[in-house]
């Protein structure tokens, strides 16, 4: 089995947008387990003109390294519990906020696969199925309250994009990670449903370790990623599904109805904050766990931001610098 890891980015909204109080939550997380979260957490910020709509982006937590998908998902569940225990806002695992137009302020779900028997074949096989697999967690249907498809993040984001010849170039859908030496699948949106992520990881492992080499066509992929992110499950992805189900029995309804469809329906009926509350409830454990607990009284925004900056961002500057140089 290959080694596996997940980096999950989420927004913490209060109630409709993230604020710099997110840094305070990360500081609390770091204080609880500094040895782990010094490396396994991160903060993101908007860039360029998007800063006018708010500086704070998503926050990130990541798992350890595993060889079993189920162990990996249990680790991710534990990371979610940790973040939920310190975050007073709504934790919203979506690729882009519904009423924003901020292509530099997005969240993703990165899956790492290492120790592969044939790294090149694994990369090619993953690319072959990726227009289909990205639909498992597609969760960003809208820009400025207008529906644009299944994932506006895939359609227009600085952090990912069409494949290039250079597999180490960072800002594309799947890369060779220079820092970790893994194949890093960057295109998925985050999603609240852990079972969808479990199927995503299992599918990636299945196709990455397949001894048969699937057809690889970079230009075809670059066209299909757009059709998939815009139109959802279509004629081309249905062909891919017929191939995939011979390898792993993923239910087709997971591609036919996406998290983007679910959150858009709630948004149309009840608005953005209601949609984010449902996403938060799913992230925190779903209906079986009941409603999220009443939030604690968080410090005033400026106090929380200053505390987070001093308690989280400044201590991690050496790590940010090292990571930037390596990547």
Contact 6, 115 (CB under 8 A): no
CA dihedral 135→184→157→315, nearest 10 degrees, is: 130
> Measuring CA to CA, which residue among 92, 84, 128, 130 is closest to residue 111?
130
Instruction: Compute CA distances 215 → 123, 205, 218, whole Å.
Output: 11, 18, 10
State how far the Cα of 155 lies from the Cα of 148, in Å rounded to an integer.
9
Q: What is the pTM of this model?
A: 0.94
State how far the Cα of 75 lies from the Cα of 62, in Å rounded to an integer.
9
* Structure-block tokens of residue 132: 């289909």
Phi, psi of 3 (to 5 degrees): -80, 150
263: helix, strand or coil:
helix
pLDDT digits (tens, 9 = 90+) for 33-69: 999 999 999 999 999 999 999 999 999 999 999 999 9
* Structure-block tokens of residue 137: 């967690």
The percentage of the chain sitting over the pLDDT mark of 70, rounded to a whole number, equals 96
Strands 109-114 and 183-185: antiparallel
User: What local confidence, expressed as pLDDT, does residue 326 receive?
Assistant: 72
pLDDT digits (tens, 9 = 90+) for 205-217: 999 999 999 999 9
């Amino acid at each position: 089995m290959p080694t596996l890891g997940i980096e999950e980015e989420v927004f913490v909204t209060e109630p409709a947008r993230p604020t710099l109080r997110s840094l305070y939550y990360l500081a609390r997380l770091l204080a609880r387990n500094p040895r782990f979260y010094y490396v396994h957490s991160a903060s993101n910020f908007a860039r360029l003109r998007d800063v006018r709509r708010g500086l704070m982006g998503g926050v990130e937590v990541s798992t350890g390294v595993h060889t079993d998908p189920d162990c990996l998902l249990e680790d991710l569940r534990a990371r979610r519990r940790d973040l939920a225990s310190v975050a007073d806002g709504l934790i919203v695992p979506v690729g882009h906020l519904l009423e924003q137009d901020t292509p530099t302020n997005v969240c993703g779900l990165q899956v790492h696969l290492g120790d592969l028997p044939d790294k090149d074949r694994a990369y090619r096989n993953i690319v072959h199925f990726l227009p289909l697999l990205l639909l498992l967690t597609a969760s960003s249907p809208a820009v400025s309250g207008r529906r644009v498809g299944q994932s506006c993040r895939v359609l227009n984001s600085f952090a990912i994009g069409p494949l290039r010849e250079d597999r180490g170039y960072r800002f594309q859908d799947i890369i060779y990670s220079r820092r970790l030496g893994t194949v890093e699948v960057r295109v998925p949106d985050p999603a609240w449903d852990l079972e969808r992520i479990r199927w995503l990881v299992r599918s990636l492992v299945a196709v990455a370790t397949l001894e048969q080499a699937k057809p690889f066509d970079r230009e075809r992929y670059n066209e299909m990623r757009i059709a998939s992110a815009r139109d959802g499950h279509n004629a081309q992805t249905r062909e891919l599904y017929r191939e995939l189900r011979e390898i792993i029995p993923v239910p087709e309804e997971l591609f036919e109805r996406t998290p983007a469809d679910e959150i858009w329906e709630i948004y149309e009926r009840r608005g953005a904050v209601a949609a984010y509350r449902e996403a938060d409830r799913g992230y925190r454990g779903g209906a079986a766990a009941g409603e999220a607990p009443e939030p604690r009284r968080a410090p005033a925004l400026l106090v929380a931001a200053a505390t987070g900056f001093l308690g989280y961002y400044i201590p991690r500057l050496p790590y940010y610098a090292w990571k930037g140089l390596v990547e």
